[in-house]
Amino acid sequence: MSNNRKLAPELLDIKKLKSKILISYIFSNNEYLEIFRNVYHQGKERLSCIIDEAKKETDRWKRILDLFNSRFEVPFKIEVVNQDDVILKDKAPSLIFHYEDKEDGVDKIKGKDELMNALCTGERRALYLLNAIFDIEARKDESYQTLLVIDDIADSFDYKNKYAIIQYLKDIRENGKFSLIILTHNFDFCRTIRSRLSIDRKNCFEGIRTENCITISQAEYLNNPFKHWKDLLNIQINLIASIPMVRELIDYTKDCDNEDYNTLTSILHYKEDSKTITLKELIGIFKRTVNKDISYSNPETDIVFNLILEQANECLNDTDETKLENKFVLSMAIRLVAERYMIRKINDLVIVKNIKKDQTSKLFHIYKKKFPGDSEAIKLLEKVILMTPEIIHLNAFMYEPIVDISIIHLQKLYSDISNLC
């Protein structure tokens, strides 16, 4: 500063001084400036091309979000706001969520964490699914084949969103570039997937876990089992297993005051006449209802109640989970034996005769009040109430619940309830 006093006034504006010094350095190294200028312009042109490519990707993002927003029933819409940064800076897409408040109908913009607190489990899963859709849609533009393993994808979804997923899986399959392995614990979902995606039966398998291993076998009963059994009614276990469904047919086509309906009710519930109904009477009801020729030896003397228990005892030695007929028969036998036990213990025919519907649960309610100290019996009878009604009563056509009930659990329950009596 002593030798360059002219610099002193420059100190009044340090920023300007720095700029002047920088410029002086640049001009004193002009050859490097020229190199920098060339690199800069080349990079700028390349950057402009990249930005143009990034903007072209907007169509893909828009297509994916439009697909999600239109197909899935969720209380929010999604928008990507940093499209350029996703491509240029390798950033994850920044999504904003337009959430409609059901109380005031106002469209509110929420962050993902805040949104998650406002959604139910199924809606959260739909949002998670969006990430998979991004990857799948990107792969649709590639030339190589892709294997997708899909595990319980519809769990916790409501019906509308479940069918939206099924439709999307159908779109993927028809694309031709994807092979699908679809795993599920939900039998209804399995049947729907097979139907909607036109999957051959030979490509449907079920895994069965035993004590020592897991076996994979051809899937059974992907259609209504009654369609299979009604052509094999000369096999006794199929005839007995079909009783709940025939009873439902009579209820739908006639009414619950029909004589045949009441007879089948006395087969499925323990009534005064339960131990007098013959196989001949049962065959007559089947012929009138499903118009099938059925032939058995000694139908006049065989009692249906005894046949049900005999078939249930035979089922105790068969652990094949695929045989729904075994599960139906065991469930019927369990409830009959349980009702017989409770009626004998209650020992009041007037009370029992006054029960017109929901007999098992009403008998159980009376039993608990009359014998509150029978804790073991009450615990066992509670299992009967929980495990058997959907199979034998109003939901006989909706047979999916019985698929998920282990044959081993039914066998144990039947053995325990039989020992109780």
* 204 domain residue, yes or no: no
* 251 domain residue, yes or no: yes
* 272 domain residue, yes or no: yes
* 69 domain residue, yes or no: yes
Can you give the pLDDT at residue 362?
Answer: 92
pLDDT in tens, 397-416: 556 667 777 888 899 999 99
pLDDT in tens, 150-197: 988 877 677 778 888 888 899 888 888 899 999 988 777 888 888 888
Residues 160 and 236 in one domain: no
* 206 domain residue, yes or no: no
Can you give the pLDDT at residue 394?
Answer: 43
Residues 114 and 187 in one domain: yes
Residues 272 and 402 in one domain: yes
Nearest to 332 by CA among 305, 353, 296, 359: 305
What b/e string do you get for 372-396 counting C-beta neighbours within 10 Å, with b at 16 or more?
eeeeebeebbebbeebbbbbbbeeb
| 187/219 Cα distance (integer angstroms) | 10
Contact, 409 vs 387, CB < 8 A? yes
Nearest to 269 by CA among 246, 290, 243, 289: 243
Can you give the pLDDT at residue 2?
Answer: 81
* 412 domain residue, yes or no: yes
| Side chain identity at residue 14, one-letter code | I
Pairing of strands 214-218, 205-209: antiparallel
Task: Identify any residues that bridge with 98 across adjacent strands, giving them in sequence order.
Answer: 77, 109
Domain boundary among 144, 165, 199: 199
Kindly report the CATH number assigned to the domain that includes residue 90.
3.40.50
Residues 68 and 144 in one domain: yes
- 């706001």: which residue's tokens? 81
Can you give the pLDDT at residue 68?
Answer: 79
Residues 10 and 108 in one domain: no
| 410/193 Cα distance (integer angstroms) | 28
* 205 domain residue, yes or no: no
Residues 19 and 86 in one domain: no
Domain count, the chain: 3
* 94 domain residue, yes or no: yes
Residues 75 and 133 in one domain: yes
Residues 31 and 75 in one domain: no
Residues 260 and 142 in one domain: no
Domain boundary among 55, 79, 97: 55
Structural domain containing residue 33: 5-55
Residues 191 and 235 in one domain: no
Residues 295 and 402 in one domain: yes
Residues 64 and 156 in one domain: yes
pLDDT along the chain (421 residues), means of 10: 81 89 84 86 82 67 78 73 57 63 61 67 72 82 85 77 86 89 84 86 82 80 76 92 89 84 93 94 93 88 95 91 87 94 92 87 93 92 80 53 79 93 71
Query: Whole-prediction pTM value?
Result: 0.67
Domain boundary among 152, 181, 199: 199
